[in-house]
Amino acid sequence: MRTTVGIIGAGPAGLLLARLLHNAGIDSVVLESRDRQYVEQRQRAGILEQGTVDVLRAAGAGTRMDREGLRHDGIELRFDRRRYRVDFPALTGGRSVTVYAQTEVCKDLIALQLKEGGPLLFGAEALAVEGAGTDRPRVRFRHQGREDVLECDYVVGCDGSWGVARRAVPAELVRVYERTYPFGWLGVLADVPPSHDELVYARHDRGFALLSMRSTSVSRLYLQVPEGTDAGSWDDDAIWAELERRFETGDGWRLERGPITQKSVTPMRSFVQEPMRYGRLFLAGDAAHIVPPTGAKGLNLAVGDVVTFARALTRLTETGSADLLDAYSETCLRRVWQAERFSYDMTTLLHRAPDATPFEDRLQLARLERVTASRAAATDLAEAYTGFPLD
């Protein structure tokens, strides 16, 4: 089996890359270890930056997003029982974000790929990337009970932090930057309309809380919990009671309760592996970097990576110039580190560390006061939240 670009992983990054390459007349094959049902039900991110929305529309994958997605023009910050709205369009020249779940993005891109694109193999487990440092890399994979080889001109690893692509970079060339946090997020899906029409980020002495949504009828809510917490150790009434405490305001706002249909705990981690390219192997998304979810950057960073690769390969194909392809890692990492910075800032701004001192508590409140009192500080937050340029 042979193709120009072998793509490992059919998450939103791999699927979008296949679509961008198809639109540019470049063939690809996508290998995905899971089945289609799993990919289309895998709960992950739900906030799309302005740039991500624009890319999906331009790629022909925005019809259902525009119909069913929820445009959000701001977020609400809560602390000391007070509420403050960050107005994105007013601070950024018109930019916004869209609530549209990763599951729905994947469904749209899978349908397009199966209808118009190249091969998309579900249940195809990538076993190794071989010859990445040569001009003929290959992906060894297992599909339908037998091993096969995908020969490529380029391989793009969109297979996450535990995939084979990242491990194909020689250890002596790798630089890793990492931070783990002593808390996680207990996340729940609930069959109840959201209690607010925009996301609410709450800083509380008992810990952080986030009110989000998946649709107008399904709420997605999060609580800061100690690292290693078992989601099953929290019963539904305890979750709602804690959410009510952390979201409490002085103006009578109420959190609506409903049946909880799903619980999980997400660990909090910052991670970057450099470089993001080795020979003809290119890393994208979680294969190269992870951010804590506070800044809603994970999916959007992956989109930035594959847009950068698709533009670079298109330039090479059309002009013969490899300048953008050679600059792939450097170009992506500039955006990655800004997103890492923002995600770290949001995490430390809103979460209370287990060993926080009174001095550190007061610093947190002072930082929040700065955002609410300074247009410049609010603008910095709004520009980062709605997305760094994909250029």
**Which of 13, 2, 95 has the alpha carbon at shortest distance from 286?**
13
| Residue 291, both tokens | 């951010």
Beta partners for residue 282, in sequence order? 156, 277
Element of type H or E holding 110: helix 102-116
**Cβ atoms < 10 Å from Cβ of 310:** 25
Beta partners for residue 263, in sequence order? 188
In whole angstroms, give the CA distance from residue 204 to residue 370: 17
Q: Given the residues 100, 222, 293, 328, select the one marked as catalytic.
A: 293
Mark whether 293 is an active-site residue: yes
Mark whether 385 is an active-site residue: yes
**How far, in whole angstroms, is CA 46 from its chain's centroid?**
8
Residue 54 CB burial class (10 angstroms; 0-12, 13-18, ≥19)? middle
Mark whether 72 is an active-site residue: yes
SS3 at position 267? strand
Q: Given the residues 72, 204, 289, 351, select the one marked as catalytic.
A: 72
Q: Given the residues 154, 222, 328, 385, select the one marked as catalytic.
A: 385
In whole angstroms, give the CA distance from residue 282 to residue 121: 20
| Residue 145, both tokens | 């009970």
Mark whether 297 is an active-site residue: yes
Residue 252 CB burial class (10 angstroms; 0-12, 13-18, ≥19)? exposed
Q: Given the residues 100, 201, 222, 328, select the one marked as catalytic.
A: 201
Mark whether 201 is an active-site residue: yes
| Residues carrying an active site annotation | 72, 201, 293, 297, 385
